[in-house]
Amino acid sequence: MTEAASDGLRVNIGCGAQPTPGWRNFDNSFSLTLSKHPRLAALLARLRLLNSGQIAFIAFCRQNKIEYADATRNVPLPTGSVDVIYSAYMLEHLDRVDADRFLKEALRILKVGGILRLAVPDISVAIDEYRTGKVDADEFMDKSEIGFTRPRSFAERLRMLLVGTRGHHWAYDGKSLSRLLLKNGFSEPVVLPAGETTVVNPGSLPLRDGEGWGVYVEAKKPAPSR
């Protein structure tokens, strides 16, 4: 599929350790913030308040150009300046209020006709695996990342205060995600197979990220109604 959006400013929001080459890449990880403050990062590591994954991501951020943005509040880009937004496996970590806030901010920075591409875990895949016996209840909970372990030690409580919870706050399928996009002002949502996109010249955009368990939905920013 090849329609809408020409080459221009393209951004990856919530890129984590997978920034898209040639794009502006944003994340709001505490590790990204610590990458700018090496002494504080070293102190927290000595106090064992950072796990090995966080320490590795701090090093990764220092070697790659990733910009900070809390996308539920403000992406530091002008209104109507972006041609394409890509956000993969981030939306499910937001509660319903913050999901709406993120989508409104995405709509703000997009040009008219600009495309938002979202990839999230498909809850229907997880349910089918459970119903057909491929996974048991414990495996379903682990893969869905909807369980929560209460912090017990001081270090665990402090880590949660600094980092927050990292599990999933909501689950989607293609139909519910399309409905959420329409609710927040987007138009023409389409559920796409892995590997397909409406983005012209997608280049290094990872179109198959999460293939087999993810769902991919794209939508446009409509022209203002008269």
C-alpha closest to that of 116 among 25, 195, 13, 210: 13
Domain range summary for the chain, segments of one domain joined by +: 10-28+69-122+172-220, 123-168
Predicted pLDDT at 44: 86
Name the CATH superfamily housing domain 10-28+69-122+172-220: Vaccinia Virus protein VP39 (3.40.50.150)
Number of C-beta neighbours around residue 225 at 10 A: 4
Predicted pLDDT at 51: 82
Predicted pLDDT at 162: 57
pTM recorded for the entire structure:
0.89
For the ranges 36-45, 93-102, 195-204, the lowest mean pLDDT is seen at 36-45
Give residue 1's pLDDT band: very low, low, confident or very high (50, 70, 90).
very low
Predicted pLDDT at 5: 38
Q: Are 185 and 104 in contact (CB under 8 A)?
A: yes
Give 82-115 as a DSSP string: EEEEEEES-GGGS-HHHHHHHHHHHHHHEEEEEE
| Average pLDDT of the segment spanning 44-51 | 84
- What's at 156, amino acid-wise? E
- 206-68-55 Cα angle (round to 5): 80
- What's at 41, amino acid-wise? A
Fill in the DSSP letter of residue 7: S
Residues ≥6 apart with Cβ < 8 Å to 28: 14, 68, 69, 70, 71
Distance, CA of 158 to CA of 193 (rounded, Å): 41
Predicted confidence (pLDDT) per residue in 63-75, tens digit: 999 999 999 999 9
pLDDT of 189 strictly over 90: yes
Predicted pLDDT at 164: 59
DSSP H or E segment with residue 137: helix 137-144
Residues ≥6 apart with Cβ < 8 Å to 56: none
